[in-house]
Every structure is written in C-alpha cells, then in structure tokens.
Structure 1
Amino acid sequence: MVNIQHEDTLINNFLLLSRQYCIKNIHIEKDKKSNHMDCEFTLKNKEYIRVEAKTFKDSRNYSQNFIKIFGGILKGRNLPLAYSKNNYPVYYGIMIDLEDFEKFKRYKQTINNIDWLNFSRNYDAKYIFVVSKNKIFIYDWDEIEIQ
C-alpha cells in the first residue's frame, strides 16, 4: 500500500512536468487492476511510450520492486493500448523517483549488462524516466551503465 501511494505521487509529478518535455496524450491508469500500463503517452510526437512506474520507499520490498519492473513490462506488452498510437512505434520504459535513482542503479548492478541490453532489444524497452518535483530526466535504456 505504501508503494502505491508513492507511485501515485511519482506519476502526478510526471504529469505536472510533462508539457516541458514534449510529452502529450497522457493516460494515467488509476485502477491498478486495469488493462493498461501505469502511464502511456506520446513522446516528441513520434513515439508511443508505455511505462511501468516503481518506487523504492519500502525497504522490505526493494529487490521485489526492481524485479517487478521487468514483469510489468512483459505483462504490459500483452495489454491493450490506452489509445490509438497513430502509427507511432511502441516502446516501453520505467518511471522512478529521483530519490530512488541510486537504489535503482545498485539493483541494476545485479544484472549482467548483456542481459540488460538484450531485455531492451528483445522487448522494446527504450527509456528510463527519472522524476523529481521539478524536472524529468529522460535516459535511454542503454545509458544506465554502472562502473
């Protein structure tokens, strides 16, 4: 329950900032048992993006939430689109809070980088949206490398 409240805050911050980043036609899924991903939108009028939002606020669930990102994307690939994609290519992404970015990167270290990149290529995972209260950082999936 704690993470759902934090995810709602994360998505609301994203919604408030979205106009600054050429993010349009946003669909926010309020019903967690719905037939859509957490957030769907068009980016720069050329891509339809479907996003799994996760937070890492509850220390009992850090690793589970990291793993759920991948399951959420895989499940989302079989869910209907929230609206017409206008012949745009469909890509998938992750939305996380800036406060959780370091935790996310630590968990990312547990995955072989080749597997990380193969997941991106095989399942069209393209973006990681890191959201703060006043900015959205948009990373390509391949950009998140841990030394």
Structure 2
Amino acid sequence: MKRFKKLVVGMLIGFVAFGVFDLSQPTPKAAAYSGCKSSELPNVTLGATDLDICVSESGSNVNVSMKIFNNSTTSYPYYEWTMYLQRYTNGAWSNVGSRTGYISGDSSSNRTFTNVADKNTKMRVKAVFSYEGGGSVGTRYSNTWTR
C-alpha cells in the first residue's frame, strides 16, 4: 500500500513538473478596449472641423462612434464616409469589415462590427471621408489597440 501511495504521489509530481496539470492561476484577459482619438477634417466653407473617432469593445463586438464639432451654430458640415475595421497581420493592415454612412454636426455616426475574432493582434479603424456627392476630404484613423 505504501508503494502505491508513493507511486501516485510521484506520478502527480511528474505530471505537474511536465505541464500535464497546470496548477497556476489562469492569465486574466485584458480589459476591453475603449478610447477616442481627435483630429480635424477640412471644410471649404467653415474651415477645419473637429472629429472624434471613439472605439469600444463589448464581447465579440467592436463599436465605433464618430462625431464632428464646429464653431458655427448656423451651418453644419456634412461628410459621407466609409469605415474599415483593420487587423495588423504579416506586417500589413488588412480589412476585416466595412461600414458606410454620413456624419454632420447635428448627426453623429454609430456602427458595430459583430463577431470580431480575438486574435491578440493590433486593430484600428480607418475612416475615409468625402464631401456630399464626391470630392475627397481625407482619411483618419482611430487609436490602435490589441484584440
């Protein structure tokens, strides 16, 4: 009986030593990302317009909110946009998904990318803006985070 107990104890020690049983605490998952980045968009009539691109994670979803501000109380700029959720892989940014819409001083834009894989890689949102009916305004990016 003593031999059996020693054998069982020896086997358990061996399993732990060789990593068959991991008795350490699991590595906690990083907190969900949430952050905003501010920049400017040109406007031929009103001058520069301030832009905020905010990103947050909720489970497998990535939520994006864009809002513009200007100093004019009588006129609101209007931009059409295409946003791309991008992942950094193999040394380059690749598109994971895209959304389209418009934004103006009295109408912010909110979009959700659903079922986004968690691959522990860098992510960002790329937003390409144009004037209503055409004419490039420029490209802006969110902050980069790891998902």
- TM-score, normalising length from structure 2? 0.29
**Structure with more contact order per residue of length (Cα contacts < 8 Å, sep ≥ 6):** 1
When you count helix as a share of all residues, which structure comes out higher? 1
Work out which of the two has the higher radius of gyration on C-alpha atoms and give 1 or 2. Answer: 2
When you count strand as a share of all residues, which structure comes out higher? 2
